[in-house]
Amino acid sequence: MENVMIEINRIKKKLGKKEVLKGISLQLKPSVYGLAGANGAGKTTLLRILAGVMNADGGEIVMPEGSGQTGYLPQKFGCFPELTVYEQLEYFACLKKIPASCMESEILRALECVNLGGKEKMKCRKLSGGMVRRAGIAQALLGNPALLLLDEPTVGLDMEERKNFNRVVREMEGERTVLLSTHLAEDLKNLCQSVIILESGEVREVVPETYD
Amino acid sequence: MISKTVKYYIRSKICTVSSVLFFLIPCGFAVFFWKLGMTGFTLLHTLSRYNFYCCAFLAALSFYFISSADRNHVKEAFECGGKKAVYENHALLFMLVQVLFWNSAMCIILILCSMENDASSYFISWFFAGYLCNMFIPQVICVFLTYLVSASGNPGRMLTPEILFIFLISPFAEEIVWEQKPQFPIDYLWKKIRWPFQILYQNGVWSPDVQNDLQMERVRIYLLVFWLLFLLFLAASCIWNVKPVSAAAGIFAAVFLVLSCQPASVYRLNSSWDGINKDITDYEVHVNDHTLKKPDADIFSITSYQLGMALKNELAVEGNLELEASRKCRDFCMTLYHGYAVKELYANTKGVTVQFKQQNDFIFIHADTAVAKLSIHIQYEGHHNKYYANSCAVMLPGWFPWYPMAGKRQVVLEYPEYGKMWGYSPYNRIKKANISIRTNQAVITNLSDKGGNLYEGTEDSITVLGGNIKKLKDEVAADVLPLQLYAGYGEEEFLAKQKEDYFQSLEKLKNAYGVDVSELEHKRLVFASKDLGRNVTNNHLAVFDSYILAVPDYISVDDFLHYLILQDGKNQKRREQSPLIQMVMFSNIDDSAGDIVRQWTEEIRLQNEKPEYMELFMEAAKTCGSERLVKEAVQYALYPQKWECDREFFEMVLNKTEK
């Protein structure tokens, strides 16, 4: 398998009494993958485990050395209302240990990517729902992550914003691994090279197949 | 990262305004009280009393701030890459830094207050531990607990246990006491549930005991340590995922919790039936007759006490007693307060075996051979709810059977001439014995200090005091309570006043009232705090062979007189029947005779005594003058058996005058 970025081996997770993930195995190359499935299929749980927000009960995730940061946009994302957009992203940049010397440029670049350039001094409480979502994408892009995990990224975005988002994602093709969870067939069709279909905590199908 | 967190805090108006108020209001009040003249100790007590509100406020503010990331849906994004609770950790750190600054400011205010308003630097050298335990650590516990709730992943749901915690540590929970013993031991259950939550200074509405520490007993320290370790265990296991720390913290937390539940002498002022008022129930005060009775003739006395006293969580005593009887006998009865359990008692005398039984306040010893002299070894431990004894402070008056006394003694007394008043008998004395006690810490006693915590003497009692009490090298006064002094009333002024009170009282008793003061003169004054006689009657002053045990400012004509009057148990009922003696006992005999007689006149009028009574009284006052009338009335109160009734007394007074 060439250019394998991430190996996901038999990941299991139980939440309460319910086994949410029953041994997920995947191999992800630098590409854009869609993650589809009904509610409760385990999409968000898988993304959380990959993001490191949640621990798996079993299995392992192997990421090659030097693979860099992970960018993660959760399903619910908000901002500290009292901070400006710039300050909010600065917070994330600090967490990602982006050097101070290039922090400003990195933040402005990320904001440009999501069409929030010029809004850095705006207070977060004044952002619309769509703008908050874009700010969330911007923070996920900080540090040029090798793995980008997006959970329902286009929720709350209007047509224009969705187009911009699609453009951003397309530009990442081949550069990094993007795993994008969505209910929207249009997003799956337009953005994803492959679609991973989850059902009841298992991989039902990968279209097209990405592993032997 | 921390600077970003601080920036966010400052940007949040709610947080900033709350912080400003949190600093300004308590510090403002502290400065206000300082400038009003409060001593350092009183100010610290006040702060400790209200610290619950600071803790509750801190908990609310911390919850608002630390759970911000979760509330604003930023938490999950922050935790990408496995940085669990990264925001909450920094937020906690910032809150703790604020708490540190706040408490540092308070400490500075306390020190400045003490420097200005106290008579000595005693408070400054003493207060820090008390401050930590009553102010700083409880605040840290509340903030840390709030951090755990906020970082739990479901702060909304976890808020309920925290609110319950806040309630259980509050003064409101303290107020839930049973003044009467309930049929079902629900109060016992409640106390057990509540004990781990007593992290704050308890019963702050009551004025503190200056001799006792600010509730710094070991068991309370263990409790505070338990909470710190328990919260550390929770953080390490649920949030930080550091297994070795979590295991160690969990184990040690359990150990300290168990240690905190040991039996202990803790002095707490509440109205619970089994608190300091426990003896009302134990002795069925107001139900049975506890008037002072003539004691049975002692068939034996304890001629020697060789005791080792360990003051830890409570009192533990071990040592040897020499019993000497007027004739050979096999049965000996001693009195020891029932709160002290005898663990071991055996005969040292060769060829003699003894058995013992402890029943209520009595230890019954039965020897297999009749002996006139018996040496026994005894070991006992326990505590009394009022007369505390622990590693922090000791209040063991010599008239209280905290040590075995020969014979059956009355522990509590009721005073019918005072209505429903009761107190501990201040009249218990042992026959002069050779006493040697060795303690595990320096104390103040009526015995001579031989150095190395060894105290010896030939005395009629053993008084042991400790805590915030300082030994003096004065000829008359043995000690002083430094936390009671203030600027302008230091040690010198204190000594001068107490001695003046003592000598002037004796003089007045002798000259103005014709009282025989030979038993009161030439005594050393040993002072204990006001809690010696708090909430009980006739315990503020007691006269022993070589010393007077008293509360400062309670050495007065009144106190001596009441002590002497109430010592005569035989005529208690007689005094109760005499309106004049009642007036003597309830008057302030230190006032001028004219004022006293005027008060009595008003009293007789208000009580609607028969007209002829008033006439007799007025005639006596007019004929012999106020001074002589009061003097004779005092003698009447002391020796009521000399006259059948008040009428006879008045006739005597008038006849004497006529002669």
**pTM of the entire predicted model:** 0.92
Flag whether residue A86 sits within 8 Å of chain B, measured between CB atoms: no
Q: What angle do CA B390, B396, B398 make, to 5 degrees?
A: 160
The pLDDT score that the predictor gives to residue A139 is 93
CB contacts of B81 in chain A (<8 Å) are 51-52, 69-70, 95-96
Q: What is the mean pLDDT of residues A175-183?
A: 87
Task: Count contacts between A and B (CB, < 8 Å).
Answer: 71
The type of residue at B171 is P
Cβ-in-10-Å burial (0-12, 13-18, 19+) of A208 comes to exposed
Candidates B4, B11, B74; nearest CB to A79:
B74
CB contact under 8 Å between B76 and A72, yes or no, is yes
The single-letter DSSP state of residue B482 is: G
Q: Which two tokens stand for residue A60?
A: 């392992």
Candidates A53, A81, A82; nearest CB to B76:
A53
Which contiguous run of DSSP H or E holds residue B475?
none
The pLDDT score that the predictor gives to residue B658 is 56
Give the integer Cα–Cα distance in Å for A103 and A2.
33
CB contact under 8 Å between A72 and B80, yes or no, is yes
| All domains in chain A, ordered by first residue | 1-68+146-212 (3.40.50.300), 78-145 (no CATH)
The pLDDT score that the predictor gives to residue A155 is 81
Distances (CA, A) of A199 to A11, A42, A207: 14, 8, 14
CB B552 within 8 A of CB B494: yes
Flag whether residue A156 sits within 8 Å of chain B, measured between CB atoms: no
The pLDDT score that the predictor gives to residue B187 is 93
Helices (H) and strands (E) in chain B, counts: 21, 19
Give the integer Cα–Cα distance in Å for B354 and B153.
66
Candidates B4, B7, B82; nearest CB to A52:
B82
Q: Is A194 helix (H, G, I), strand (E, B) or coil?
A: strand
CB contact under 8 Å between A81 and B72, yes or no, is yes
Give the integer Cα–Cα distance in Å for B650 and A162.
111
Give the integer Cα–Cα distance in Å for B230 and B236.
10
Q: Choose from A50, A73, A82 for mutation: most chain B CBs within 10 A.
A: A82
Flag whether residue A63 sits within 8 Å of chain B, measured between CB atoms: no
Which contiguous run of DSSP H or E holds residue B169?
helix B155-169
The pLDDT score that the predictor gives to residue B154 is 85
The pLDDT score that the predictor gives to residue B155 is 85
Alpha carbon of A53: minimum distance to chain B alpha carbons (Å): 5
Give the integer Cα–Cα distance in Å for B70 and B150.
8
User: Locate tokens 């385990």: which residue?
Assistant: A42
Give the integer Cα–Cα distance in Å for B384 and B276.
8
Candidates B11, B13, B80; nearest CB to A53:
B80
Flag whether residue A153 sits within 8 Å of chain B, measured between CB atoms: no
What ipTM did this prediction achieve? 0.91
Candidates B8, B12, B80; nearest CB to A51:
B80
**What's the pLDDT band for A212 if we cut at 50, 70, 90?**
very low
Alpha carbon of B244: minimum distance to chain A alpha carbons (Å): 19
Q: What angle do CA B215, B216, B217 make, to 5 degrees?
A: 95
The pLDDT score that the predictor gives to residue A4 is 60
Give the integer Cα–Cα distance in Å for B348 and B371.
13
> Model confidence over B357-386: pLDDT tens digits?
999 999 999 999 999 999 999 999 999 999
Taking CA–CA distances from A47, the nearest residue in chain B reads B80
CB contact under 8 Å between B77 and A87, yes or no, is no
CB contacts of B74 in chain A (<8 Å) are 77-80
User: Locate tokens 């005027």: which residue?
Assistant: B598
CB contacts of A81 in chain B (<8 Å) are 72
> Model confidence over A52-95: pLDDT tens digits?
898 899 898 888 776 667 899 999 999 999 999 999 999 999 98
**What's the pLDDT band for A1 if we cut at 50, 70, 90?**
very low
Distances (CA, A) of B192 to B189, B321, B341: 5, 38, 22
CB contact under 8 Å between B77 and A90, yes or no, is no
The single-letter DSSP state of residue B389 is: B
CB contact under 8 Å between A95 and B83, yes or no, is yes
> Model confidence over B485-507: pLDDT tens digits?
999 999 999 999 999 999 999 99
Q: Choose from B80, B84, B154 for mutation: most chain A CBs within 10 A.
A: B80
Alpha carbon of B152: minimum distance to chain A alpha carbons (Å): 13
The pLDDT score that the predictor gives to residue A66 is 67
Q: Is B458 helix (H, G, I), strand (E, B) or coil?
A: strand
CB contact under 8 Å between A80 and B4, yes or no, is no
CB contacts of A51 in chain B (<8 Å) are 76, 79-81
Q: Choose from A47, A49, A53, A61 for mutation: most chain B CBs within 10 A.
A: A53
> Model confidence over A15-61: pLDDT tens digits?
888 888 998 898 888 888 999 888 888 899 999 999 989 889 989 88
Q: What is chain A's alpha carbon radius of gyration, rounded to the nearest angstrom?
A: 17
Give the integer Cα–Cα distance in Å for B151 and B547.
62
Q: Which residues of chain B have pLDDT under 50?
A: 659
Give the integer Cα–Cα distance in Å for B133 and B115.
22
CB A124 within 8 A of CB A135: yes
